[in-house]
Amino acid sequence: MKSEIIAIGSEMLTPFRQDTNSLAVTEKLNGLGITVAFKTIVGDRRKDLVNAIRTALGRVDVLIITGGLGPTEDDLTREAVAETLNLTLRRDATLVAALHVRVASWRMPMPPNNQKQADLLEGATVLPNAHGSAPGQWLDTIYEGYRKLIVLLPGPPRECIPMFDDECLPRLREVAPPRAIAVRTLKAAMIPESQADSLLAPIYTTYTDVETTILAHTGDIQLTLQCAKPTAEAAQARVDELASKIEETLGDYLYSSQDESLEQIVLYYLGLKQATLAVAESCTGGMISERLTSVPGASRSFLGGAIVYSNELKNSLAGVPAETLTLYGAVSPEVAKALAEGIRRRTGAALGLGVTGIAGPTGGTESKPVGLVHFAICDAQGTEAVERTLHGDRQCIREWASQQALDMVRRRLM
Amino acid sequence: MKSEIIAIGSEMLTPFRQDTNSLAVTEKLNGLGITVAFKTIVGDRRKDLVNAIRTALGRVDVLIITGGLGPTEDDLTREAVAETLNLTLRRDATLVAALHVRVASWRMPMPPNNQKQADLLEGATVLPNAHGSAPGQWLDTIYEGYRKLIVLLPGPPRECIPMFDDECLPRLREVAPPRAIAVRTLKAAMIPESQADSLLAPIYTTYTDVETTILAHTGDIQLTLQCAKPTAEAAQARVDELASKIEETLGDYLYSSQDESLEQIVLYYLGLKQATLAVAESCTGGMISERLTSVPGASRSFLGGAIVYSNELKNSLAGVPAETLTLYGAVSPEVAKALAEGIRRRTGAALGLGVTGIAGPTGGTESKPVGLVHFAICDAQGTEAVERTLHGDRQCIREWASQQALDMVRRRLM
pLDDT at B382 over 80: yes
Residue B244 makes CB contacts below 8 A (sequence gap 6+) with: none
Give B-chain residues touching A359 at CB under 8 angstroms: 293
Q: Do A278 and B11 touch (CB under 8 A)?
A: no
Give B-chain residues touching A23 at CB under 8 angstroms: 15-16, 18
Claim to verify: residue A286 and residue A344 sit in the same structural domain:
yes
What SS3 string covers chain A?
CEEEEEEECHHHHCCCCCCCHHHHHHHHHHHCCCEEEEEEEECCCHHHHHHHHHHHHCCCCEEEEECCCCCCCCCCHHHHHHHHHCCCEEECHHHHHHHHHHHHHCCCCCCHHHHHHHEEECCCEEECCCCCCCCEEEEEEEECCEEEEEEEECCCHHHHHHHHHHHHHHHHHHHCCCCEEEEEEEEEECCCHHHHHHHHHHHHCCCCCEEEEEEEECCEEEEEEEEEECCHHHHHHHHHHHHHHHHHHHHHHEEECCCCCHHHHHHHHHHHCCCCEEEEECCCCCHHHHHHHCCCCHHHCEEEEEEECCHHHHHHCCCCCHHHHHHHCCCCHHHHHHHHHHHHHHHCCCEEEEEEECCCCCCCCCCCCCCEEEEEEEECCEEEEEEEECCCCHHHHHHHHHHHHHHHHHHHHC
Query: pLDDT class for B180, splitting at 50, 70, 90?
Result: confident
Q: Domain containing A236 — which CATH number?
A: 3.30.70.2860
Considering Cα of A187, then A402, then B13, then A129, what sign does the dihedral take?
A: positive
In this predicted structure, what is the pLDDT of residue B197?
A: 80
In this predicted structure, what is the pLDDT of residue A349?
A: 97
Query: pLDDT class for B100, splitting at 50, 70, 90?
Result: confident
Q: Do B293 and A286 touch (CB under 8 A)?
A: yes
Claim to verify: residue A37 and residue A155 sit in the same structural domain:
yes
User: What pTM does this model have?
Assistant: 0.79
In this predicted structure, what is the pLDDT of residue A10?
A: 85
Distance from CA of B382 to the nearest CA of A (A): 23
pLDDT at A154 over 90: yes
The Cα angle at residue A59 between residues A54 and A63, in degrees rounded to 5 = 65
Nearest CA in chain A to B282: A304
Indicate the residue among B195, B224, B256 that finishes a domain.
B256
The number of C-beta contacts closer than 8 angstroms across A and B is 256
What mean pLDDT is reported for chain B?
93
Q: Domain containing A314 — which CATH number?
A: 3.90.950.20
Mean per-residue pLDDT for A84-110?
86
Claim to verify: residue A15 and residue A110 sit in the same structural domain:
yes
Distance from CA of A121 to the nearest CA of B (A): 25
**Residue A9, phi-psi category: left (phi > 0), alpha (psi -120 to 50), beta (remainder):** left
What mean pLDDT is reported for chain A?
93
In this predicted structure, what is the pLDDT of residue A31?
A: 82
Distance from CA of A100 to the nearest CA of B (A): 31
A140-154, A192-206, A278-292, B396-410: the lowest-pLDDT one: A192-206
Name which of B37, B44, B156 is nearest A48 (Cβ-Cβ). Answer: B37
**Residue A3's beta-bridge partner residues?**
A36, A62
Indicate the residue among A256, A291, A309 that finishes a domain.
A256
A43-47, A255-259, A359-363, B101-105: the lowest-pLDDT one: B101-105
Q: Do B37 and A42 touch (CB under 8 A)?
A: yes
Give A-chain residues touching B224 at CB under 8 angstroms: 16
pLDDT at B259 over 80: yes
Q: Do A287 and B286 touch (CB under 8 A)?
A: yes
CA A362 to mean position of chain CA atoms: 33
CA distance B375 to B384: 8
Assembly ipTM = 0.78
Claim to verify: residue B114 and residue B18 sit in the same structural domain:
yes
pLDDT tens for A170-214 read 999 998 887 778 889 999 999 988 889 889 999 999 999 998 888
Question: Pick the residue with more confidence: B241 or B108?
Answer: B241
In this predicted structure, what is the pLDDT of residue B298?
A: 95
pLDDT at B108 over 90: no
In this predicted structure, what is the pLDDT of residue B377?
A: 98
Mutate to test the interface with A, among B22, B159, B313 (most CBs of A within 10 A): B313
Instruction: Give the whole-number percent of chain A exceeding pLDDT 70.
Output: 99
Nearest CA in chain A to B396: A294
pLDDT at A282 over 90: yes
Claim to verify: residue B27 and residue B146 sit in the same structural domain:
yes
Question: Pick the residue with more confidence: A302 or A9?
Answer: A302
In this predicted structure, what is the pLDDT of residue B232?
A: 85
**Residue B307's beta-bridge partner residues?**
A305, B281
pLDDT at A2 over 80: yes
Query: pLDDT class for A26, splitting at 50, 70, 90?
Result: very high
**Residue A326's beta-bridge partner residues?**
none
In this predicted structure, what is the pLDDT of residue B190?
A: 94
Name which of B14, B44, B298 is nearest A26 (Cβ-Cβ). Answer: B14
Claim to verify: residue B245 and residue B329 sit in the same structural domain:
no
Indicate the residue among B149, B175, B201 that finishes a domain.
B175
Domain count, chain B: 3
Mutate to test the interface with A, among B60, B133, B217, B293 (most CBs of A within 10 A): B293
Cβ atoms within 10 Å of A332's Cβ, excluding its own: 19
pLDDT at B266 over 80: yes
Mean per-residue pLDDT for A20-33?
90
Name which of A27, A194, A361 is nearest B71 (Cβ-Cβ). Answer: A194
Claim to verify: residue A248 and residue A102 sit in the same structural domain:
no
Q: Do B158 and A302 touch (CB under 8 A)?
A: no
Q: Do B290 and A285 touch (CB under 8 A)?
A: yes
In this predicted structure, what is the pLDDT of residue A95?
A: 93
In this predicted structure, what is the pLDDT of residue B252?
A: 95
Q: Domain containing A46 — which CATH number?
A: 3.40.980.10
pLDDT at A74 over 90: no
Q: Do B39 and A40 touch (CB under 8 A)?
A: yes
Q: Do A39 and B44 touch (CB under 8 A)?
A: no
In this predicted structure, what is the pLDDT of residue B211?
A: 83
Give A-chain residues touching B10 at CB under 8 angstroms: 211, 213
Which residues constitute the domain of residue B252? 180-256
Claim to verify: residue B230 and residue B337 sit in the same structural domain:
no
CA distance B10 to B23: 19
Claim to verify: residue A57 and residue A122 sit in the same structural domain:
yes
In this predicted structure, what is the pLDDT of residue A329?
A: 96
pLDDT at A385 over 80: yes
Claim to verify: residue B165 and residue B23 sit in the same structural domain:
yes
Mean per-residue pLDDT for A219-241?
92
CA distance B320 to B313: 9
pLDDT at B20 over 90: yes
Nearest to residue A330, comparing CAs of A342, A315, A345, A343? A315
Distance from CA of B35 to the nearest CA of A (A): 9
Mean per-residue pLDDT for A65-91?
93
pLDDT tens for B300-355 read 999 999 999 899 999 999 999 999 999 999 999 999 999 999 999 999 999 999 99
pLDDT at A131 over 90: no
Claim to verify: residue B267 and residue B372 sit in the same structural domain:
yes
Claim to verify: residue A167 and residue A191 sit in the same structural domain:
no
A146-150, A196-200, B5-9, B52-56: the lowest-pLDDT one: A196-200
Amino acid at A98: A
Question: Pick the residue with more confidence: A306 or B224?
Answer: A306
Q: Do B213 and A360 touch (CB under 8 A)?
A: no
Q: Do A197 and B71 touch (CB under 8 A)?
A: yes
CA distance A394 to A376: 21
Q: Do A294 and B398 touch (CB under 8 A)?
A: yes
Rg, C-alpha atoms of chain B: 26
Name which of A23, A308, A346 is nearest B316 (Cβ-Cβ). Answer: A346
pLDDT at B178 over 90: no
